[in-house]
Amino acid sequence: MRALPSFTRQLIGLLTCGALLSCRPDATTTVTLPPETDDGWSEASHGSAAAPNYAEVFADDVVRRLDIQMTAAQWSSVRANMTALWGFDFGARGPGFAIPRKDPDYIDVTLRSHGRTWSHVGFRLKGNSSLGSAWLNGNYKLPFRLNFDRFEDRYPEIRNQRFHGFKELSMSPNFRDQSLIREKTAADIFRLAGVPAARTAFYRVYIDFGEGARYVGVYTMVEIIEDTMLASQFGSDTGNVYKPTSRFLVFERDQLEKKNNQNADDWRDVQAFIAALHDTTRRSDPLAWRTALEATFDVDHFLRYLAVNNVMVNWDVYGALPQNAYLYNRPGKALTWIPWDMNEALTANSLALSLSMNEVNGTQWPLLRFLADDPVYFALYRQHVAVFQSTVFTPSRMEALLDRHHALIAPYAIGPNGEQAGATYLSDAASFTGALATLRAHVHSRHEQARTFAP
């Protein structure tokens, strides 16, 4: 139950004492109060007992509005914190930047959406190149993250506060994406192909930086993996969750960030996986090597992920850079690969993996090279490519998905209610419209290449 303001509790206590005629001036009276409802609070919308409401938060047929309010002093504190971390102030337009290892600090903001208000919500900026680029150029369309009970120790009345069942959410500004739909579309494609991925939805976001609400454009809200996605799509969230920045050459703890179970000094699952991958004795016996590897890592699932990833082209991942994935020790299935951060998907790039992966070097990317070199695994990968391109990644099905997403956000991307200068990555209205045609052409090209590779 949400606590009422202190003056309201005191007033109700005095009224109760008067009614009972039994209170001394220093007496303590315990009163059971109904939940506060004047700002739209309810157990379903704000409480922790309710299940995550995906239909409400991750609706596919509407672009909901999200308003965030901070004070001018808070915005100044954000700028000071970012200057300390990144070395330059907002809009400094310096020669470049180095990405710091530490995340920005949280501030306490008020959030309004779905006709309700959430108080003392944790808000912090997030990201690497997306954040650095926006900050460098003074672009108010900043990537950020929300934590709804971050400040519960300071404000006990919001203990275990949730947003329709969600504790944390990530807001992607669709950086480097003139279509504004690639992050959501790629996540949808993964799930259509049977590869679990975070749920996503479009939001139009307004932020008051202390001088009045400012429209900062169309964002993609992304579900947090360790918060709700695991339980929703895997049925369990008890196993270790890692966000690796590792090439899996050797076990290095600082390259395998734990997102849960941080107090348990237990890394045996990922250590066993890396050891099995590099077991030179068993690699001379392919069957023994595959058996040992599959005991630690869900290989078939990874090969399905790899087929989907390579066909549609999602280049900013393992094989180009050691990032943008999670590993989950799924009960009964060992470590399972989960894709993440897909704003660079569905676009050509020189760093993208080819379908054959012939260019991959085993001394840099052993997980890819060792699997591709095994005839059994490579045949299974080709089979996943064939199934994906013939059942999911068909031009007609992909065009329908792209067209639906484009039409949904168009009124909030361009035109009188569209994104505004200083808070957008769009070059102009023509770039947004033309990006849809580019995506359609990309789908046709990749479908044909996949059909040729795995007929």
Burial of 381-393, coded b for 16+ CB within 10 Å and e otherwise, reads bbebbbbbbeebb
For residues 312-338, give the mean pLDDT. Answer: 95
Q: How confident is the model at residue 132 (pLDDT cuts 50, 70, 90)?
A: very high
Whole-angstrom distance, CA of residue 220 vs CA of residue 19: 53
pLDDT digits (tens, 9 = 90+) for 181-230: 999 999 999 999 999 999 999 999 999 999 999 999 999 999 999 999 99
Q: How confident is the model at residue 39 (pLDDT cuts 50, 70, 90)?
A: low
Greater pLDDT, 282 or 368: 368
207-211 CB contacts, 8 Å cutoff, 24+ apart: 207/67, 207/68, 207/69, 207/70, 207/140, 208/67, 208/68, 208/69, 208/70, 209/70, 209/72, 209/75, 209/140, 210/70, 210/71, 210/72, 210/73, 210/74, 210/75, 211/72
- Rg of the chain over Cα atoms, rounded to whole angstroms, equals 25
Pairing of strands 64-69, 200-208: parallel
Q: Which residue has the tokens 């993208």?
A: 352
- The mean per-residue pLDDT over the stretch 262-267 comes to 88
Q: What average pLDDT does this structure show over 28-57?
A: 70
Structure confidence at residue 3 (pLDDT):
39
The encoded tokens of residue 137 equal 């150029």
pLDDT at 97: 84
Least-confidence region, from 6-20, 151-165, 436-450? 6-20
Give whole-number Cα distances, 282 to 196, 291, 293, 368, 372, in Å.
31, 9, 10, 18, 17
What is the pLDDT of the chain when averaged over all its residues? 91
State what percent of residues in the chain have pLDDT above 90.
85
How far apart, in Å, are the Cα atoms of 36 and each of 10, 15, 66, 68, 120? 15, 18, 22, 21, 16
Four-residue CA torsion sign, 184, 186, 187, 192: positive
* CB neighbours of residue 204 within 10 Å: 21
Rounded Cα distance between 57 and 60, Å, is 9
Kindly tell me if the per-residue pLDDT of 16 is higher than 60. Answer: no
390-418 pLDDT tens trace = 999 999 999 999 999 999 999 999 999 99
Q: List residues bridging with 206 in a β-sheet.
A: 67, 215
Q: Is the pLDDT score of 328 beyond 60?
A: yes
The answer to whether 242 touches 271, Cβ cutoff 8 Å, is no
Q: 168 forms bridges with which residues in the sheet?
A: 147
Summarize the confidence of residues 351-372 as an average pLDDT: 97
pLDDT value of position 28: 31
pLDDT attached to residue 303: 98
Instruction: State how beta strands 168-172 and 241-244 pair.
Output: unpaired
Region 9-20 average pLDDT: 31
Mean pLDDT for 242-252 is 97
Q: What is the average pLDDT across 143-166?
A: 97
pLDDT for 94 beyond 80: no
pLDDT for 69 beyond 70: yes
Q: Is the pLDDT of residue 455 over 90?
A: no
| SS3 call for 198 | coil
Tokens of 261: 């179970």
The arithmetic mean of pLDDT across residues 123-139, rounded, is 96
Who has greater pLDDT, 146 or 94?
Answer: 146
3-state secondary structure of 386: helix
Q: What is the model's pLDDT at position 235? A: 95
Q: What is the pTM of this model?
A: 0.90
Q: Do the Cβ atoms of 104 and 128 come closer than 8 Å?
A: no
Helix (H, G, I), strand (E, B) or coil at 118: strand
What pLDDT, on the 0 to 100 scale, is given for residue 6?
33
What gap in Å lies between CA 92 and CA 133, rounded to an integer? 11
pLDDT band at 254 (very low <50, low <70, confident <90, very high): very high
Q: Which tens digits make up the pLDDT trace of 374-391?
A: 999 999 999 999 999 999
Residue type, 74: Q
81: tokens are 């914190």
Nearest to 186 by CA among 317, 335, 15: 317
* pLDDT number for residue 17: 34
| Residue 214 φ/ψ, nearest 5 degrees | -125, 130
Higher-pLDDT residue of 257 and 33 is 257
Q: What is the dihedral of CA 64, 69, 75, 78, to 10 degrees?
A: -60
Say if strands 168-172 and 325-330 run parallel, antiparallel, or are unpaired. unpaired
Work out the average pLDDT over 173-187: 98
Q: Would you state the pLDDT for residue 450? A: 98
- Is residue 10 predicted with pLDDT exceeding 90? no
